[in-house]
Structure 1
Amino acid sequence: MKTEHVMMALAIAAAFATLPSITQAASSNPALAGLNTTEAPRVTQVVDNNAVSALEHTHLAVVANTTSAGRVDDALPMNHMQLVLRPSAQRAAALQTLIAAQHDPASAKFHQWLSPEEFGTNFGVADADIAAVKSWLMSRGFTVHGVYPNKLQIDFSGTAGLVRQAFHTQENRYVVNHVTHIANAGDISVPSALREVVVGVAGLNDFRPQPLHVAPQVAQFDRGKSNFNIKQPANSLAGTPGHSAVNFTGGVRGLVPFDMQTIYNVSSLYTSGLTGTGINIAVVEDVDMYTPDWANFVSQFGLGSYGGTFTQFQPQLTPSTGNCTDPGGNSPGGESIETVLDSEYSTAMAPGANIWVATCNDAGSTNFFGGVFTAASNLINNTNPAGRPNIISASYGYGEGFTDAASKTAIDLMWAQGDAEGISVFVSSGDSGSNPSFNGSIINGFGVDANSFATSPNDTGVGGTDTADVLDGTTSKYFNSTLNAQYGSAKSYVPELTWNQSCGNTLAANKLAHVSALQFCKNALIYDPYGFYVTSESGSGGPSSVDYKPSWQRIVRGAAKDQSRDLPDVSLFGGSYGGYSWVILCTGFYPCTPNFTSPVELVGGTSLSAPMFAGIQALIDQGLHNDGLPANQGNAAPTLYELARNEYGGPTGKTPGTLAKCNSSNGTSGTGSCVFHNITTGGNSTQCVQLQGQTTPDCYFYGTSQNFLQFYGPTQLGLTSTSSSTYNSNTAAYAAQPGWSFANGLGTVNAYNLLSAWRAFVNAP
């Protein structure tokens, strides 16, 4: 150990000797004018492996309450972990100040975006500190693949044994929700000399985010009825958890690009020549898609004349760290439905845009966010401007309760860098109501939570809505009975409610049974005693337990009176009660054919909402670029909230007439000039369960299934609530309301009016 200590001291001393003692930031970029981020190195002591400090919250809290299934072998490869570095308080504050100025039309720094190198020089960690950390990692036997241009990430690899020895934590296996995971058993420790510059290691567990779409359905078109019949597999059970409690015997509706374009009034922009031409939208993924799908989709729905392009690739750093390899899946049987959905429905809204499908392999990394995180981070850190997109859409997520501090910090720093570079980022809020971690299952053991991938103040979180025409009985008013040449039927904007497939859907309860949602759920228990139709499927929203509320989220009526970054910011169509309305995909197994003579796949979820909003942003970007302004707009949310304040009013003061005028429930009546459609019907309070021996917070229990799913025995059933003793519109987690809400944020948009308002806000000529 003494020999090791001496060698380590010599390595650190050599690193210091080759670098300046002070990092001086200098640039001709107007964004950096008057900004002084000069600072001395913070690693000022010799690194002593015998003097270590623990870093709090660097292991998942969930594993503390889970019995280990055994240690992993020391030889287990731990590839492409990310050592996350901590910027100084001075630089962190300076970055926040700069980003605020970049979004302020009155500032000389408005829309003056940074390059990755400028970001790293001014807001990363000093070179001498990076050298010290690198030297320490190599002295412990790790392979360092490279430092990111942002100077906040070091990509390195090793084994579980090296992790145990260097970071003083054991990698174990844990079974959570019937899935085996790898995670570190306790918080990590690092030499005390490095504590000030090290946040932790992203990649010590494999709790990666999940795609946020509902399970796709295969359906056959019924030409006589102009709808689709879902094909039930012959061996499927009639009741499985999460299935819709209402089955539409007359078939279901398959929505297409024409419908989305009509409902959100993007087609009006096409007549002005705005289709997204010249704008690059990157969808970040961890599995490829079958590339002919995109061309099939464009051809089937008449989008080919707009000139959009498609590229699927693996984004690399320069020089490459080797952390992004091809995940595979470019085949009909191996592709990811998520990737297909993201690429096709960003194109549906911006048919002239360049679609970049950026994929990285999860298997080559045990990093928490795996390929999705790597793809996004590599794009944002591409030092070639042509390799950085204008827009990123990420349709993945997990709750903050499943995210360690280092991984969460890495996510937030990544999106902050993207914002400072002018990249607009849209992230799905989730598909399981007030806790996004239970897509396809039922909230249990956890309370209210928010998508850790979306709660950064530097991205825009997108929730999900449902069209209200089916429950309202107004379908003939808003949809034609036959399909047009593009297979669409929407006539105009359609009233919306929060997408919620559970008995917590207040509109369904009222229209179908003339009772409250709570009574609706109690009635359902009588007819479904085993809980086969219990579900948490719904657009997600909730407060962050990590990130503070940005100032721009306080300025609009309805804003939550908390200190948290709240989700979502906006919404678009995500799904429907009873599984009646879906969107149509063109996939490898089920390609689209003229007149739908062969089966197609139907899908939904906030994985649909986010790429569609990314497509709308591409139209905004092109419109502003045509006005002689920069195409890049950075994070859309600050501008969206400013525009919503004009329509909904501020958090206090007189209520403007436009708050009621722009209520989504008005449909086309008087809402033609509105930028936003304020969703005031429904909410995302969904079902939750408490199994024997378990505690589920934020759940109001209304009854008991004596043998839940005919397997779990007596199980309490409830609805997500901020009160365990009362359930009403004030405690439901969460109800829609006038202004902003946890259910749907600011609501949905009229894209044509949004561009007009955006132009006025940025003083476009």
Structure 2
Amino acid sequence: MKTEHVMIGLSIAAALATLPSTALASASSNALSGIDTSEAPRVTQTVDSRVVSALGNTHLSLLDTVSPTGAVSDSTPMNHMQLVLQRSAKREAALQSLISAQHDPSSGKFHQWVTPQQFGQTFGVSDADIAAAAAWLTSQGFKVNGVLPNKMQIDFSGTAGQVKQAFHTQENHYIVNHVTHIANSGDISMPTALHSVVIGVAGLNDFRPQPLHQQPQVAQFNGSSQRFKIQQSPKANASASSGPTPMVNFEGGVRGFAPYDMQTIYNTSPLYTQGLTGKGIVIAVVEDQDMDVSDWPNFVSQFGLGGYGGTFTQFQPLLSPDTGNCTDPGGNNPDEESIETVLDSEYSTAVAPGASIWVATCNDAGSSNFFGGVFTAASNLINGASRPNIISASYGYGEGFTDSASKTAIDLMWAQADAEGISVFVSSGDSGSNPSFNGSIINGVPAIDANSFGSSANNTAVGGSDTADVLDGDSSKYFNTTLNAVYGSAKSYVPEITWNQSCGNTRAAKDLINGTALQFCKNALIYDPYGYYVTSESGSGGLSSVVSKPSWQRIVHGALKDQSRDLPDVSLFAGSYGGYSWVILCTGFYPCTPNFTSSVQLEGGTSLSSPMFAGIQALIDQGLQVAGGSANQGNAAPTLYELARNEYGGPTGSAPSTLAACDADNGTKGTSKCVFHNITDGGNSTQCIALQGETTTDCYYYGTIQNFEGFYGPTQVGLTSSSTTKYNANTAAFAAQAGWSAANGLGSVNANNLLSAWKSFDGL
């Protein structure tokens, strides 16, 4: 035991970051003053492998009704699993108290951040308890790779056979939604003496966060129409998702938004004239595959962003040479690069052209945890010596696809980031009320779920909006017919609705048939008898079934009177009904050329929304720093909700006049003085299906497709709803509304006004 304790201590000391050199999220000695978390070790009994008991909810319950296709071979490597630890109630209360104070301008601990080592020493598990857990792992034949500086996770490796012996659970192969997975068949058991300090093991299954972008399109620019003609779906790559063909055929081509358009719509341009470009602020986008490093300078050059001084670095954030939990996933070439990574890096720069972009990538397979490279990249950054100001994660899946240990590890990670002053933005999802079905259709599970990767109380979840001008037929009011020198055409802010590709789009139903979404969907059955256009593509939102509602989410008009952490918090452009509007990417296979003489790729999804909001936060951070405040703000959501309360009013009482004035439908004329554009039209209730023998709950069925996609036979089709017997605005999952909504959160923002309000909130 003593020898193992020394080894673990050395492993902690060896947590040497190989990141870009400047430590950005600086700490303050004042942060921990007066906080006493001293305690005796909690492992007080002999750790006996013969005296074991189960840890509940440590397997995926969705697999209880799925038959395995076979057992995983005992010799199968299972690398970089994490024993997820549990802090004491005393330390948990102290952490929550500190984070609350860090966001309270009246507190002496306001914006006083901590380092990973301070976090671990004060809020982690005691060294003695860590040593006891690590010694037991070693006794079971596992290799202990190290302890994270937060003292909440022990990284270890072994085989499926060792997992079976030590944790008393069988690793099996399963097929879920036509994809083969590995997962443990039942809850794990381990020595009862360790239960007070162990929650479970992350990495026993390979259900991991997926990229949340639309299927990219290859398009050729037409100089006469100033539009793009979609040619084909691009060459397949590891992160491209499949999806339905758009329902609407735009004969003149489709619209490709440039950075200028996003800057104009969300009013970041006035900040650039003040010298606020994100300079000195680091945005890290966390990924599981590389990109061609020539893409970013090509993008910067094509769209006239080179004069702002932004920088780009792609690297693997190794926590320690000994741990070795992050290997290069590859993809730094046109044929294998990740479109997700390209999108995240380019559109964080599009909004914050002077910021430093860190593309932090770790491999999903090989030496990495089954849980995935995105988690590893984020965790290593947060626990590293050099940390970014902001993290954007454009990945996710539902809480129903996440075991309790993995969900706890996610939430622990984002809470640590918050305490260190890092602002984290996570895409809410691209499949309406259940984020697990990007590129497919909600089926076979509850149709209402929340993005497990973004439902922490310590991150800001970003949903998806759409510009209303196309459906309303008034594009000339908001866009010029000819592109400018940097390929933009937006004149001002454009009214927004919820991004929803399905017939559940209430604005589309109103504008196209002057009817309800339900009528629109029933009509679609006539023209689409095989269901080829059935889709769940929409900005996601919903109610967490795991995380309780943070106090700051209760304070604004429209807040649900529930006990759940609700998503999203805010929204930005993600796509358009019928696939008319996209953003332009510069990729390795389709590089941008002057005047777009060659083909380009067009993209969208909440994978776009999150890095753009991260870019807005970089402008805010620099503006606050210039005004004498902190360049680190921690979780942005508490401040955003406080500022929204000033415009939308509180959860009770009469609404102020600014609630109506800031309605997104008012456009620039009505919202020019608003911080938020309150998106009140549309919703993210999308289509759901039940194949033969399946049950999909939270789905209101309005019809049956006799042979779905010409292959699956009779299939029920419906709309996501809290009721299976009726469908209206009150049951749709979920409708936009005044104030906060599960369709768009607080709405989108006017970045210039947001900075002014934020400075006032911070007392600057």
AA matched with 2:622: Q
For structure 2, the 5+ residue unaligned runs are: 10-26, 237-241
Give 1:235 deviation, angstroms.
13
Q: What's the CA shift string for 1:407-453, capped at 9, x where partnerless?
A: 00000000000000000000000000000000000000122000000
Q: 2:416 maps to which residue? A: 417
Taking structure 1 as reference, are residues 313 and 122 closer, same or farther at Cα in structure 2, changes over 3 Å only? same
The counterpart of 1:287, out of the listed 286, 289, 305, is 289
Is the 1:43–1:132 Cα contact (8 Å) retained in structure 2?
A: yes
Which runs of structure 2 are paired with 1:355-366 in the superposition (5 Å)?
A: 355-365=357-367
Q: 2:431 maps to which residue? A: 432
SS at match of 1:669: helix
SS at match of 2:343: helix
Is the 1:242–1:442 Cα contact (8 Å) retained in structure 2?
A: no
For structure 1, the 5+ residue unaligned runs are: 1-10, 20-26
User: 1-side partners of 2:333 and 2:354: how far apart?
Assistant: 25
User: 2-side partners of 1:477 and 1:530: how far apart?
Assistant: 38
Q: What's the CA shift string for 1:5-25, capped at 9, x where partnerless?
A: xxxxxx379859999xxxxxx
Give 1:213 deviation, angstroms.
0.1
AA matched with 2:632: N
Q: 2:491 maps to which residue? A: 491
AA matched with 1:688: C
User: 2-side partners of 1:200 and 1:407: how far apart?
Assistant: 8
Q: 2:380 maps to which residue? A: 378
AA matched with 1:723: S
Q: 1:174 maps to which residue? A: 174
Which runs of structure 2 are paired with 1:426-575 in the superposition (5 Å)?
A: 426-447=425-446, 448-575=448-575
User: 2-side partners of 1:445 and 1:655: how far apart?
Assistant: 41
Is the 1:698–1:720 Cα contact (8 Å) retained in structure 2?
A: yes
User: 2-side partners of 1:292 and 1:713: how far apart?
Assistant: 47
Give 1:555 deviation, angstroms.
0.1
Give 1:670 deviation, angstroms.
2.1
Is the 1:203–1:366 Cα contact (8 Å) retained in structure 2?
A: no
Which runs of structure 2 are paired with 1:187-336 in the superposition (5 Å)?
A: 187-232=187-232, 242-318=244-320, 320-336=322-338
Q: 2:348 maps to which residue? A: 346
Q: 2:18 maps to which residue? A: none
Is the 2:4–2:131 Cα contact (8 Å) retained in structure 1?
A: no
Which runs of structure 2 are paired with 1:49-68 in the superposition (5 Å)?
A: 49-68=49-68
User: 1-side partners of 2:195 and 2:444: how far apart?
Assistant: 34
Is the 1:242–1:536 Cα contact (8 Å) retained in structure 2?
A: no
SS at match of 2:229: strand
SS at match of 1:157: strand
Is the 2:5–2:127 Cα contact (8 Å) retained in structure 1?
A: no
Q: What's the CA shift string for 1:564-612, capped at 9, x where partnerless?
A: 0000000000000000000000000000000000000000000000000
User: 2-side partners of 1:340 and 1:289: how far apart?
Assistant: 6
Name the TM-score, length of structure 1 as normaliser.
Answer: 0.95
AA matched with 1:402: F
Matched, 1:611 2:605: no
Q: How many residues end up aligned between the 2 structures?
A: 741
Q: 1:23 maps to which residue? A: none
Is the 2:28–2:113 Cα contact (8 Å) retained in structure 1?
A: no
Is the 2:288–2:372 Cα contact (8 Å) retained in structure 1?
A: yes
Give 1:42 deviation, angstroms.
0.3
Taking structure 1 as reference, are residues 234 and 465 closer, same or farther at Cα in structure 2, changes over 3 Å only? closer
Give 1:467 deviation, angstroms.
0.2
AA matched with 1:381: N
Taking structure 1 as reference, are residues 741 and 14 closer, same or farther at Cα in structure 2, changes over 3 Å only? closer
SS at match of 2:344: helix
Which runs of structure 2 are paired with 1:655-674 in the superposition (5 Å)?
A: 655-674=655-674
Give 1:675 deviation, angstroms.
0.1
Give 1:375 deviation, angstroms.
0.4
Give 1:63 deviation, angstroms.
1.2
Is the 1:281–1:355 Cα contact (8 Å) retained in structure 2?
A: yes
Q: 1:92 maps to which residue? A: 92
User: 1-side partners of 2:350 and 2:306: how far apart?
Assistant: 11
Give 1:243 deviation, angstroms.
2.1
AA matched with 1:140: Q
Is the 1:213–1:338 Cα contact (8 Å) retained in structure 2?
A: yes
Which runs of structure 2 are paired with 1:17-166 in the superposition (5 Å)?
A: 29-166=29-166
Give 1:364 deviation, angstroms.
2.6
Give 1:47 deviation, angstroms.
0.6
AA matched with 1:167: F
Q: What's the CA shift string for 1:471-506, capped at 9, x where partnerless?
A: 111100000000000000000000000000000001
Q: 2:21 maps to which residue? A: none
Q: What's the CA shift string for 1:100-145, capped at 9, x where partnerless?
A: 0000000000000000000000100000000001100011100011
Q: What's the CA shift string for 1:145-181, capped at 9, x where partnerless?
A: 1000000011110000000000000000000111110
AA matched with 2:59: H
Q: What's the CA shift string for 1:27-86, capped at 9, x where partnerless?
A: 982111111100100000111101001001100112111000000100000001111000
Q: 1:400 maps to which residue? A: 399
Q: 1:632 maps to which residue? A: 632
AA matched with 2:761: F
AA matched with 2:198: V
Give 1:232 deviation, angstroms.
3.2
SS at match of 1:426: strand
Q: What's the CA shift string for 1:313-362, capped at 9, x where partnerless?
A: 00011454100111100001010000000000000000000000000011
Taking structure 1 as reference, are residues 178 and 17 closer, same or farther at Cα in structure 2, changes over 3 Å only? closer
AA matched with 1:746: L
Residue range with higher mean Cα deviation, 622-631 or 429-438 = 622-631
Q: 1:4 maps to which residue? A: none
User: 2-side partners of 1:12 and 1:704: how far apart?
Assistant: 66
Residue range with higher mean Cα deviation, 29-38 or 604-613 = 29-38
Taking structure 1 as reference, are residues 193 and 164 closer, same or farther at Cα in structure 2, changes over 3 Å only? same
User: 2-side partners of 1:304 and 1:276: how far apart?
Assistant: 13
Q: Percent identity?
A: 74
Is the 1:442–1:688 Cα contact (8 Å) retained in structure 2?
A: yes
Which runs of structure 2 are paired with 1:657-696 in the superposition (5 Å)?
A: 657-696=657-696
Taking structure 1 as reference, are residues 298 and 353 closer, same or farther at Cα in structure 2, changes over 3 Å only? same
Is the 1:243–1:534 Cα contact (8 Å) retained in structure 2?
A: no
Q: What's the CA shift string for 1:185-206, capped at 9, x where partnerless?
A: 0000110000110011100000
Matched, 1:749 2:749: yes
User: 2-side partners of 1:121 and 1:456: how far apart?
Assistant: 23
Give 1:250 deviation, angstroms.
1.4
Give 1:368 deviation, angstroms.
4.7
User: 2-side partners of 1:131 and 1:15: how far apart?
Assistant: 5
Is the 1:206–1:366 Cα contact (8 Å) retained in structure 2?
A: no
User: 2-side partners of 1:430 and 1:274: how far apart?
Assistant: 30
SS at match of 1:618: helix
SS at match of 1:547: strand
AA matched with 1:514: N
Q: 1:8 maps to which residue? A: none
SS at match of 2:380: helix
Taking structure 1 as reference, are residues 17 and 143 closer, same or farther at Cα in structure 2, changes over 3 Å only? closer
Give 1:369 deviation, angstroms.
3.3
User: 2-side partners of 1:262 and 1:235: how far apart?
Assistant: 32
Taking structure 1 as reference, are residues 207 and 28 closer, same or farther at Cα in structure 2, changes over 3 Å only? closer
User: 2-side partners of 1:168 and 1:227: how far apart?
Assistant: 60
Is the 1:568–1:744 Cα contact (8 Å) retained in structure 2?
A: yes
